[in-house]
Structure 1
Amino acid sequence: MKAYRKEKDLLGAREIPADALYGIHTLRAVENFPLSGRTVHPALIHAYGAVKWACAKTNAELGYLPEEVYRPLAQACEEMADGKLDAHILVDALQGGAGTSLNMNVNEVLANRALQLAGKQPGQYEFIHPLEHVNLHQSTNDTFPTALRVAAIRLLKQLENELVRLLETLQNLEKKFAHVVKIGRTELQDAVLTTMGRTFGAYADAISRDRWRVYKAEERLRVVNLGGTAIGTGITAPRRYIFKVVQHLNAITGLGLARAENLIDATQNSDALVEADGILQTCAVNLHKISNDLRWLSSGPHAGLNEIILPARQAGSSVMPGKINPVIPEAVMQAAMTVMGNHTRLVQACAAGNLELNAFMPLIADALLENFSLLTKASHILNRMALKDLQVNEANCKKQVENSTAILTALVGRLGYEKIQQVAQKMQQTGQSVREIVISEGWLDESTFNELTSAEAVNRLGTEERTK
């Protein structure tokens, strides 16, 4: 027969499995919020472990926690920070109460794990208590936002690293295919000549800006309200604790965090999170645009553009044999779309804060951290699964150039608009290529035609001036 222990709270008593690390507050939250079916983002759990560790260390240093409590509690916090206690955080990602349910789940797990490490049984709170010890001089309202920022900065660094790798690949493709002349299109119609190198170079510049923006976003996330407790006044927390706790969190995390000058502002306002997520939207837009272009450029392959060849990753159809779909760009686009949708959730939640507190921090955390993770993973698979082994169909690019009116613009500077218009008309009438017409008319020789339509000419800024 399974053993149980009894725990009490404001609403009464409940039975908890004797060996469970969670307690009555977690049990009620699990019952109250069967919403998304998603667990709290692991990065937030790990960051919460670091925050609680910093709080415990500060309290121990100032004499508020005895050594016999601090030692096992610090070890439990370290385990949570290292991801060893994730399975015990049971509350739904979405919950009422500004994140109190997650804070209490964390407090109970840390208290009971510390009890185990101290040789006691879970639930023996007379020795180590979730509130009296683990949550000492804290509130959900300062620990949750601080943990969110710690988690966001860590995920930000992962995203930045992936963007750097993606940028390097795009720059390599820019160099590798600088010699390939292709059709440049506006509004999906043939326009002028460009090169495949310039195509990838434009993508590289966009991702370069994303990398820089993401890097700079850390400045907005570094300011935390830890020590502000309930509304930013620091009520129930000693002044020495308020001044020291962020220093200890910095030592534990290695992040350059700073205590907000105005803790009341930092507790009630979430505009910095909107700003950071706005930067993620820009990244999502660029990944979406690049991925969609890859789908177009690889389309066909026999009745489409077929200018690039994406690595084949899986069979494309259950009914059409031989079909290969651009599944990686499609997946990246879906991730980008989700990020854009999450921004709507986040903006609404940040705007819905009232007076001294935002009650919707769980949704904000869920949206922001998922966005970081999605963009990191999307950048990774786009780079590794699509771009690394991408090939260019040089023969088809050349064929399209030779048979398109887009090549005419490259000759305007030498032949003038009237002659080029005649060439266009003759192309339609005879089906001849531009090369055949201008050479047969004696307007250009083979060598000059090749020079005017070469990658060097196409990449040149502007066109050569016509001699008078």
Structure 2
Amino acid sequence: MVRKERDFLGEVEVPEDVYWGVFTKRAAGNFTLSGRKARPVLIHALGRIKEAAAQVHGELGQLPANKAQAIEQAAREVAEGKFDDQFPLDAIQAGAGTPFNMNCNEVIANRALEILGRGRGDYDYIHPNNDVNKSQSSNDVIPTAIRLAVLMGNPSLDAAGLKLQESLKAKAKQYEHVVMTGRTHLQDAVPITMGQIFDAYALSIEHDRNELAHACIRVGVLGIGGTAVGTGLNTHPKFRALMVKHLAKNTGVRVTPAISPVELTSSMNAFLVYGSALEQMATTLHRISMDLQILSSGPRAGIGEIRLPEVEPGSSIMPGKINPSIAEAAEMAALQIVGRVRTAADGCRGGRLQLNVLTPLIMHNLLSAQRLAAHTCDMMRTQCIDGLSPNEERIRKHLEDGLMIATSLAPKFGYNQVSEWVKEADKRGLAIKTVILEKKVISEKELDKLLDPSKLVGPSEK
């Protein structure tokens, strides 16, 4: 069964059982590019905007009460995810995301008609443009929806980051007694504790979370009410302030009205700020994953100082082989996040004259990167960090064989003299202690004190 809907381009048949209409039908046929749909959080954010608009129009007496209430209820149902299956459009579509906006307008209009006991497509009574989209334009709705979606998605990312941070902190405390060989340039360096390493990881994640939270302040500035070019044409003088008020209440996120909606129709720089913070977190995740792959290398011919959880067989041909699969996946996810953030940044350069037309590109990539970052934090914590442990015997052997503990002797004997002893020990394959004792320049007791790795992991007055 079908129903016939008409726009200024002509008549189109629409399946009778769907809530979307003629605009969505045309867009679905035009844009079959990525095979990916809008993230649900974007759909829910659109619903919140339409809900707030209906509330404001009812409050200002710009819509009859029954229509305003029906639209508000329908929009709230969209925001609650009850109509996610009614948004079929490709994430990559027409400039400025007009199809997304109209898809939402049509779904809400037809659901509102249904609430009022009327048939779908009865647009003479409730119209997608005239009523649901009243006082709005895709040019202010879509950027606002992306901002709200980012703000609504950030708590999940923050929670995942916090749990990872706490897991790293717990490992730092658990193994603070373990002194390891430090490494710079992938070469042996002075000692460091496992506690110091993992505490630093935790601090990096904390910094990343703080940067994301700070970026949300900028993202929370909304241009809704600016309509087509930011000037507010076809809106009530109180519309913009009331929209921000209702959006804050309906979403629970911190939002403020833009000083200049004109700026926010063409400038998407707030997403550059948030994307930069996301890239910072991705860089931290990449660094940690790389470190764990190196430190767990082996088990016999590598460094092998960290044991990672064994989550799956590592080879289809080599029996018994185990790989750092979770750390490898985290590395790839981190690079994917960076790629999506940089594509979103290119989208932010799509401002031309009074409009940025690349908002669908920004939306698709930034929200995907945000979600991937949250999942990566969760995976790293549950599948890797929580279950890792040090190979203390291997760590101790590397310390005993290491040469860079001789750095502690430089203040007493001088850099050049100690360098000669280090080169000699390396050439002869001896421990640095053995070579120095042969020189008879220091007692064994005093030398042991100077070379004690546990005393070489922080400042000293001597």
The normalised TM-score by structure 2 is: 0.95
Of residues 297, 300, 313, the one that matches 1:299 is: 297
Kindly indicate whether the alpha-carbon contact (under 8 Å) linking 2:45 and 2:146 is maintained by their aligned counterparts in 1: yes
Kindly indicate whether the alpha-carbon contact (under 8 Å) linking 2:58 and 2:69 is maintained by their aligned counterparts in 1: no
Cα pair distance change 1:176/1:439, threshold 3 Å:
farther
- Greater Cα shift, 445-454 or 259-268: 445-454
Task: Report matched runs for 1:115-264 at 5 Å.
Answer: 115-264=113-262
Cα pair distance change 1:344/1:421, threshold 3 Å:
closer
Provide the rounded CA distance (Å) in 2 between the counterparts of 1:425 and 1:244: 74
| Structure 2 residue aligned with 1:59 | 57
Cα pair distance change 1:429/1:91, threshold 3 Å:
closer
- Greater Cα shift, 153-162 or 385-394: 153-162
Letter in 2 for 1:168: E
1:364-393: CA deviations, max 9, x gaps? Answer: 111111111111111111112111111011
Deviation at 1:141, TM superposition (A): 0.9
| Structure 1 residue aligned with 2:281 | 283
1:175-203: CA deviations, max 9, x gaps? Answer: 22222111111111112222212211221
Tell me the SS of whatever aligns to 2:188.
strand
Q: Which runs of 5+ in 1 are unaligned?
A: none
| Structure 2 residue aligned with 1:311 | 309
| Structure 2 residue aligned with 1:335 | 333
Provide the rounded CA distance (Å) in 2 between the counterparts of 1:418 and 1:455: 22
CA RMSD of aligned residues (A): 1.9
Provide the rounded CA distance (Å) in 1 between the counterparts of 2:442 and 2:70: 85
Letter in 2 for 1:108: E
Kindly indicate whether the alpha-carbon contact (under 8 Å) linking 1:178 and 1:455 is maintained by their aligned counterparts in 2: no
Provide the rounded CA distance (Å) in 2 between the counterparts of 1:278 and 1:182: 33
Letter in 1 for 2:151: I
Provide the rounded CA distance (Å) in 2 between the counterparts of 1:449 and 1:83: 69
Tell me the SS of whatever aligns to 1:125.
coil
Deviation at 1:448, TM superposition (A): 4.7
Tell me the SS of whatever aligns to 2:92.
coil
Of residues 356, 362, 367, the one that matches 1:364 is: 362
Kindly indicate whether the alpha-carbon contact (under 8 Å) linking 2:191 and 2:453 is maintained by their aligned counterparts in 1: no
Provide the rounded CA distance (Å) in 1 between the counterparts of 2:275 and 2:135: 30
Kindly indicate whether the alpha-carbon contact (under 8 Å) linking 1:167 and 1:208 is maintained by their aligned counterparts in 2: yes
Letter in 1 for 2:396: K
Kindly indicate whether the alpha-carbon contact (under 8 Å) linking 1:143 and 1:226 is maintained by their aligned counterparts in 2: yes
- Greater Cα shift, 119-128 or 288-297: 119-128
| Structure 1 residue aligned with 2:26 | 28
Kindly indicate whether the alpha-carbon contact (under 8 Å) linking 2:54 and 2:69 is maintained by their aligned counterparts in 1: no
Provide the rounded CA distance (Å) in 2 between the counterparts of 1:87 and 1:161: 28
Tell me the SS of whatever aligns to 1:6.
strand
Tell me the SS of whatever aligns to 1:229.
coil
Of residues 265, 270, 273, the one that matches 2:271 is: 273
Deviation at 1:41, TM superposition (A): 1.1
1:208-238: CA deviations, max 9, x gaps? Answer: 2111111111110110011111111111111
Letter in 2 for 1:325: N
Tell me the SS of whatever aligns to 1:165.
helix
Deviation at 1:403, TM superposition (A): 0.9
1:431-468: CA deviations, max 9, x gaps? Answer: 3323444456666666655543445412222x443xxx
Provide the rounded CA distance (Å) in 1 between the counterparts of 2:457 and 2:137: 60
1:36-60: CA deviations, max 9, x gaps? Answer: 1100011111111111100011011
Q: Which stretches of structure 1, 4 residues or more, deviate above 6 A after TM superposition? A: none
| Structure 2 residue aligned with 1:48 | 46
Cα pair distance change 1:210/1:429, threshold 3 Å:
closer
Q: Is residue 460 from structure 1 mapped to residue 458 from structure 2 by the alignment?
A: yes
| Structure 2 residue aligned with 1:19 | 17
Deviation at 1:138, TM superposition (A): 0.8
Provide the rounded CA distance (Å) in 2 between the counterparts of 1:97 and 1:263: 19
Kindly indicate whether the alpha-carbon contact (under 8 Å) linking 2:190 and 2:456 is maintained by their aligned counterparts in 1: no
- Greater Cα shift, 243-252 or 414-423: 414-423
Deviation at 1:425, TM superposition (A): 4.7
Provide the rounded CA distance (Å) in 1 between the counterparts of 2:419 and 2:9: 86
Letter in 2 for 1:185: R
Tell me the SS of whatever aligns to 2:96.
coil
Deviation at 1:107, TM superposition (A): 0.6
Kindly indicate whether the alpha-carbon contact (under 8 Å) linking 2:289 and 2:328 is maintained by their aligned counterparts in 1: yes
Letter in 2 for 1:283: M
Cα pair distance change 1:449/1:123, threshold 3 Å:
farther
Letter in 1 for 2:224: L
Kindly indicate whether the alpha-carbon contact (under 8 Å) linking 1:402 and 1:435 is maintained by their aligned counterparts in 2: no
Q: Is residue 388 from structure 1 mapped to residue 386 from structure 2 by the alignment?
A: yes
Letter in 1 for 2:152: R
Kindly indicate whether the alpha-carbon contact (under 8 Å) linking 1:195 and 1:455 is maintained by their aligned counterparts in 2: no
Tell me the SS of whatever aligns to 1:388.
helix
Provide the rounded CA distance (Å) in 2 between the counterparts of 1:421 and 1:144: 64
Tell me the SS of whatever aligns to 1:239.
coil
Tell me the SS of whatever aligns to 2:189.
strand
1:151-170: CA deviations, max 9, x gaps? Answer: 10121222222222221122
Provide the rounded CA distance (Å) in 2 between the counterparts of 1:115 and 1:266: 33
Tell me the SS of whatever aligns to 2:95.
coil
Provide the rounded CA distance (Å) in 2 between the counterparts of 1:155 and 1:331: 22
1:102-152: CA deviations, max 9, x gaps? Answer: 000001111112222333322222332211211111111111111111110
Kindly indicate whether the alpha-carbon contact (under 8 Å) linking 2:52 and 2:243 is maintained by their aligned counterparts in 1: yes
- Greater Cα shift, 415-424 or 132-141: 415-424
How many pairs align?
Answer: 462
Letter in 2 for 1:16: V
| Structure 2 residue aligned with 1:401 | 399
Cα pair distance change 1:125/1:392, threshold 3 Å:
same
Kindly indicate whether the alpha-carbon contact (under 8 Å) linking 1:58 and 1:241 is maintained by their aligned counterparts in 2: yes
Cα pair distance change 1:42/1:439, threshold 3 Å:
same
Provide the rounded CA distance (Å) in 1 between the counterparts of 2:397 and 2:233: 74
Kindly indicate whether the alpha-carbon contact (under 8 Å) linking 2:140 and 2:227 is maintained by their aligned counterparts in 1: yes
Q: Which runs of 5+ in 2 are unaligned?
A: none
